[in-house]
Chain A
């Protein structure tokens, strides 16, 4: 192996791609998309309660409307003195969104109240009205039953499960299992997608050299193994560049998103702006996420690189054996199958990170890049499992690289037809 040659190949592979429009767009658009996602989220938080959806309430009992006004003064308007035909006209003219007739039946008889509305507001609105009425009617019923305050409190209490995680070190932590499950799922998918896309870069690059017929010119200067290594390193560096930009953008945007959101919400000139700034001056819930551990990001990078190495040499072998890009399908199968299997196991591992299937799956070298990262994100994976999977991946990489370089060596100089698996076996034996 001559490092100067590898470096020259690496440099070409990297520079020609990093300057390409497609790469620049993808690298920039993902953070822009992420920023847009946050921006839209903030925007929605600011404006969501601002839409004035009003409901006319014709209350025969005279009790319910007062309670409703306490719940949401803007939404519920007392129209008890207007008859229902006029209310219908108001709805038709879009003066109000809908109306509800409350009768004695609704309180003592157990009859459901009926909302007649124009349809604007959607699901969210209907569910919120429903919950308001459930609360108000229950309150009124309890009041009439003349139960003690204590019992009222019992009814009002909302019980949920608070969870805290006890680590092996004996530390109690806020439990972010739900959040981390989503993170693990997303990281798994990122690795899944990136193995395919960077592997695809390699396959296409190899085929391009074959169809352009430059590969023999190159082969008269560079050993195939040097060409292969330089290619894999160049595209790998490209991947690291792209991820680097994305990770920096992700943390940068996350860091400024909270304060920025507060700023906009504080200075928002919406009718409720002042009130919101005073009473609800906190970061919107979806931005208020637990922080990711540095070790998770380190493991993500380690497993991504190992997974990339493991698969990219195989992608190169497929490229060298194919005669055109359309011919790769059949040869791709042995590569895509394990990635797809890992992907499907991930849907299980995401919910049951410590099940036998998840543990064994995450130790299988071809599955580790996806499954181990998902598990590390969600649960506490014993170090021996992480270490073992890293060692197994390195050993497997040595084997795939050995096989791939043999196929590659013969494949790049074979023109005219796409090789079969039988041919590949012969190539491995002959060289």
Chain B
């Protein structure tokens, strides 16, 4: 696993645990849209992430010597999580999940079933059906869903190993739009809650972790930054800071000021 990855501080002794597998980083990153393979790997390393997502696509047979991503990603360093991005039906998502399992030799899948091209919001009905099918086939299913509690509970009942609600639409960088819904999910679910999609910058990641969620998955926030490697480093700190702040328990909010210095002992 990623030798840079040792993000469990003394304040956060429990690693992220999904099913029986433990991850020392609460940040999961995507591998899409970077300038080239070198930048991808540099950003992944800077992020400290152990788990990284990959997509399954046709080999371009007309390209001269097209290189697989696997040429660049050491599978001893990174845990590969194949996704079903771009799938609009249960049937397609299941097909891609099976291909990903064969390609990666692990039965984990980030399950996406998209319902609408412009918003990339999930088709939760098809997502639930695909989750049931894949769980029955022995997959560890991590479904990307919206921030609706009822859907999340149904996904958990269907056997999802974690539930991954969006912060805001995929690739939007709008940050966490509904902290209340995310807190409701976290309060009611037994499986890990990993916020997937919508984080734009480090403060978004920190604020998201401060809701008490178990982790964050992001891609565009890194790849579309002017300096993806530096942003990956920033996100790593932000996820740790947000987690620590959640564990520390924030002070209560007040409407009026309270002095921090003693009000006694003032000079006459």
A binds B: no
